[in-house]
Structure 1
Amino acid sequence: MDGVAGFPFRDLPGGHRSFAGGHGLTGPDGARLLYVPAGRTPLDVPACDLVLADLLDGPERLGLLRRAGVVGERTQVVAVGVDHRVRSEEELARRLALWGARAVPDGTTIDTGRPPPLVAPPRRTLLLGGSRSGKSAEAELRLAAEPYVTYVATGPRGEGDAEWAARVRAHRERRPGHWETLETVDLARAVREATTPLLVDGLGTWLAAVFDEHGAWEGDRAPVWRRCDELVRAWRDAARPIVAVSDEVGMGVVPATAGGRTFRDALGRLNERLAAESEDVALVVAGRLLPL
């Protein structure tokens, strides 16, 4: 009996060997299978050819497996334990495709030597929605299984505003713990210099911060238009996948002030321009996705 990274191999009948405390199996041809049980993510194990995992229990665990090298480009990932936690087979298939995984019928024979073709994610995704529409949760879902993600927070931290601080805390607790967080209003630079996929949440708070920074609510708005132009150029040239959340402002009450109306129009125009440069654009309403 020998081992890899602290997990001993145990010889089994038929030339098979187990590892990862019995959750891993190596076949006579050297192919490795790993079952990832709920509540546990074995990371200190060798690269595997086939991984079976309850992804609905936490797709971010797949990101950790990729980060650790357990799941590579040729690893087949099959979801197990699928149930009513997802409302339909179509929604399940959509989510698994986002995560680079699939579900198969019982009794399916899987050839580990012939992995299914990889589908590259959209490079630029814009998700629109109203307040409490589920747009941020959808954005997090898009990148949940990535090994490295930078969450770009463009809003205030909530000092002195308990309600806003609670919102920020809820977002922080919901997203995977291994994601990096970048708090900045220099959004164009963050996009240009990204080395990992980005999740930007969101464009509305970014634009409000830009209005504040340049005193544009009542004053000169030319600097705001320049910042928007700069962001659109960076978005167009983004080298890493980017998912951005923005408010759909065109269906609400008309703001009572001239500054508010200018902000609404500016965000609507920015959404339109970024959508024109995006491979994937969708509206989120009551947690449901409407591709545009």
Structure 2
Amino acid sequence: MNIELRGIAAPEGWPAHGCRCASCTRLRAAGVRHEPFTAVVDGRPLDDLPRTRIPGGHDVHGPCGGRALVAAAPGAAPEPGDGVEYDAVLLDLVGSPEHLGYLRRVGAATSKTEVMAVHVDHRISSPAELERRMAFWEAPQEGPHRTLLLGGARSGKSAEAELRLAACPEVLYVATGPVNDDDAEWNERVTAHRLRRPAWWRTAETTDLAGVLETATGAVLVDGIGTWLAAAMDEAAAWDDPALVQPLLDDLVAAWRTTRARVVAVSDEVGLSLVPATPSGRAFRDMLGQINRLLAAESEDAALVVAGRVTELA
């Protein structure tokens, strides 16, 4: 199935006429414009091909026998036909990258399926950012592959981790934070994270992170290393003697190095904060800095997230 995109943008185009947002003004200043979504399939206009209307879009039959699942508009998530494996899916990946994960989960999209982003607009900052995200979503869904994402509080590092794995058909979300029914603020944060994730993701609330990495084979999101370390220091009674937690750190690094999973882990960058006022605080900072370095050294990718923007670390 040969598909040529003549335009990828939402109906108003990108940049949108008269829009003053940063995304549109950036493209306008560069003299770049993306036209509304149109395509040619095997030499024929997409709109002229036989199609079946389905919730969220169309099931399109190509002139040479292939089939494509096409989103109808920005925000649309087309439902696949029963038992159909599509040759191509043309989706609103800017708005719903997790829909690609769903299609892979139900077998409608496979490793042979061509994936295209359409209805693109100023919901994303730039064409370069779209290309960056597509690289994650088109990458092999299995491991081994390790990514460490560092950032400060509320930097967007958790959202970036979820974004990188959004198109995976199966994801195990490992929550290493404590469960405390008496802490309303913490529980609100946990609930917000849970609502942001696709409903089919599995969740494991555990501090046995090494055990998870040793047995997992699919995609794993770990959030995060800092809360795991706090639990490990409690377990080892290491607050007054940090050396006592070293065996647990060694176990984690060994499991990280040998895992078969595609892992994205979130951790706090501690090097830019104030010096903690207590010995236990300084011990925690030092141990977290150490485990960050060790995991980064064993990772294919590492990145720093600041104010929602991502810098890849060489």
TM-score range, shorter chain: 0.7 to 0.9
Matched residue, 2:291: 270
**DSSP 3-state at the match of 2:101:** helix
Structure 1 residue 48 displacement after superposition: 0.7
Aligned partner of 2:135: which letter?
A
Deviates more, 1:92-101 or 1:188-197: 92-101
Matched residue, 1:52: 90
Deviations 1:18-77 (A, max 9, x none): 345371122343211111343433134311111111111210000000111111111111
**DSSP 3-state at the match of 1:152:** strand
Aligned partner of 1:190: which letter?
V
Unaligned runs of 5+ in 1: 1-15, 102-117
TM-score normalised by structure 2 residue count: 0.78
Matched, 1:204 2:208: no
Matched residue, 1:161: 183
- RMSD, aligned CA: 2.1
Matched residue, 2:65: 30
User: How many Å separate the matches in 2 of 1:170 and 1:141?
Assistant: 15
Matched, 1:290 2:311: yes
Matched residue, 1:40: 77
Matched residue, 1:10: none
Unaligned runs of 5+ in 2: 1-48
Listed as ranges, the matches of 1:1-292 within 5 Å are: 17-19=50-52, 21=54, 23-37=58-72, 38-45=75-82, 46-100=84-138, 123-218=145-240, 220-292=241-313
**DSSP 3-state at the match of 2:107:** coil
User: How many Å separate the matches in 1 of 2:283 and 2:250?
Assistant: 16
TM-score normalised by structure 1 residue count: 0.84
Deviates more, 1:206-215 or 1:78-87: 206-215
Matched residue, 1:107: none
Aligned residues: 261
Structure 1 residue 120 displacement after superposition: 8.2
Q: Percent identity at matched positions?
A: 56
Structure 1 residue 260 displacement after superposition: 1.1
Deviations 1:155-202 (A, max 9, x none): 012311111111111111111111000111000000011032100000
Aligned partner of 2:169: which letter?
P
Deviates more, 1:30-39 or 1:193-202: 30-39
User: How many Å separate the matches in 1 of 2:62 and 2:152?
Assistant: 51
User: How many Å separate the matches in 2 of 1:35 and 1:152?
Assistant: 33
Aligned partner of 1:136: which letter?
S
Q: Name the CA shift for 1:120/1:91 in 2 (closer, same or farther; >3 Å).
A: farther
User: How many Å separate the matches in 2 of 1:26 and 1:135?
Assistant: 41
Structure 1 residue 92 displacement after superposition: 1.1
